[in-house]
Structure 1
Amino acid sequence: MNLRELFPEAVVNQKEKMGQGWLTQPLGDQYIHFPLEALSQREQALLDLQEPQSALQASGEDAWHQFLVQKKGGLPTKLEGVQLLYLEHGFPLSSDLLDLFYGLFPHLTALVELSSTRTVLVLDQTTPFEVETLVQDILPAVENDFGTKLTIFFGNSWTRLQAEELRQVFDSEYQLFSDFVRFKGSEQTISFAKMALWARSGQLNLGVIPEKIRHYIDESKDMADIIEAMWISQTNLVQTAQKLFMHRNSLQYKLDKFHNLSGLNLKNLDDLAFCHLLILNG
C-alpha cells in the first residue's frame, strides 16, 4: 500500500508548496501534499519522521505502476537485464511480507500492486541471479509464517529491451499468467518455458514472446543448429558437440552466452523444447 492509498485526501502535483494548512513531501519527481486538518498529530509526526528511503521506495513503485500498468511515462530505471515475477495471493500482502521480499532479493527494484490479489516484482537481472530455486526453497516457510498461499510465475530474464518492448513483454507474460490461473492453476510455481509450452499446447496467444526469443536465437551465431543438435541428442553435450564438429568447451561457451542473452538454459529440457518449437514454426 502506498501513501496515496493511505491518505486519499492527499494531492499529488508538481508544486513544491501548497501554502498554509498543508504538509508537503517529495514523491519522485512530484510532490505529495497532505491537508493538516485531515491528519492526527500522530500521523503528522510519522510523516515528518518518514525515512527518505521509504519515500523513495514508494515513489519508485508508483513510477513502475504508471509505466507498466497505466502505460504512462518513461522507463523508471534503465536495466540491462530485467525479470518480472507474477504473484497471485488470496488477500492483500502485508507490509511485513513486502519487507521480507525486499530483504530476500537485494536486486528487487520495485513491487507493483496490480490488484488486491495480484502483485508483480521487478528484478534487476543486469548481473544474473537465480531466483527460482531460492523462491521454491523458502516458499513453504513463507506461506506458513504469513498464513497465505502464493502462486508464482517466473517471467523470463530479458536483456536489451527498450521501454516499449518491456511494456509489451509485461502485457504478454501477464496475460499468460492470467490464463494459467484461470484454466489450470493447480501448480504453485511455474517457470517461463513451462508456461510457454503449456500455452502453445493450448494454442493460447503468446503475444510478443515468440518474436523476442526468436530474435535472440537469430542474433546468436550457430544457435539454431545447436538447438536442433541438442534436441536430437536430448541435451547430451558430448553428442551435440560431435554432431556439430565442435569442441565441447566451445559449445559450453555458446550455451552460456545464449543463456545470459536470452534467459533460457538449453540444458533444461523445457527451455530447449520451446526454442525447438520456435524454429520448427519459422
Structure 2
Amino acid sequence: MTIEDLIELYPTGRIQQTKASSEWLSLPIAGSYFILAKEALQETEIRLLETIFPSKESIVDHKKHPWYDYLFNQTALESDGTFRIIQFQIKKPKDFLQSEWENSIQEIFPNFEDFFFTTENDGALIEKYYKNHYTLEDIQSIFLTLDADFDSSTTAFVGNFFQANEHLPNLFQEEQYIFKQEAQNLRGKSAFSLPDVALHYFTKEAMNQSKIITTFASQLVLTSEIRQIILALWHNQGNISSAAKDLYMHRNTLHYRLEKFYEQTGLSLKRMDDLVFCYLLITK
C-alpha cells in the first residue's frame, strides 16, 4: 500500500516527518508518517493499520531478516523462487518458552527462508516451495501440537505460493488484511487459508449493501441454537452425522430441528445452496 492509496482511503489524513501525539495514529511509510485521528477510526481498524504499517521501533533485526524489509518496506530482495507466507498470532502463557518455541518452528519447517516476530504476539514464516510441502491439515496439526506442548493458543493463516517479485509485498498486505478480518469468524481451526474464507470475504460487502438481504435478515429470527447448527453444518460440508457429533446432539434431534427450521422459513439446511445462503446471513 502506497501513500497515494492511504490518501484515497483516508482523505482527512496528513503526511509529516515526525510522529504525532498519542491521540493520533502515526503510520510509518516511505520515510515519513501518515497521520490519522484515532477518534475517527474503529479499534479493529487501528489494529489492522498498525499491523500493515508496523512501528519503526521494530523488534525485528533488519540485517538478519531481509524479508521483513522486503515485505513491509518494499526494499529489494535477492531471492528467486516461489514462496508462501504463514502468518501467525499466538497467545502466550506468562512463562512462555519463547526460544524453545522458535527452535521447534525452525526444526519443523526445514525449507523456511525467513522467520520473525513482528510484534510480541504476531509473526511470519516464509517458506520456499518444495514438492512435498506441508498441507493445511499438516500445519494445523503442527500448531495444535505446539500449543499443547507450550500451553499456548495459535491461529495461523497459510498464504498462497507466489513468485518473489515486486508484486509479492502487495499480495502479502492483502493476505494480512484477510487474516485479521476472517480469523474471528472461524471456530475450531488453528490454521486456515484463503479457500476457507473466500466465499465470506469476497461477498460480505455485497451482502451488507443489499437492501433485500438486510430486510430478509431482519424478518428471519435466528436463535443461538440455529446459528450453531448452521455453523456446524457449514464446517462439516453439510454432513448431518458429523454436524450432530460436533453439536453433541443426536442425529434424529438434529433432523427434527432442521425440519422445524424449514417449516418456519422455507429454507432447507439439507440443501447446500440454502446452507450457503444462511451461513452468509449469519456472518455478514
Report the TM range for the smaller structure's normalisation.
0.3 to 0.5
- TM-score with structure 1 setting the length: 0.46
- TM-score with structure 2 setting the length: 0.45
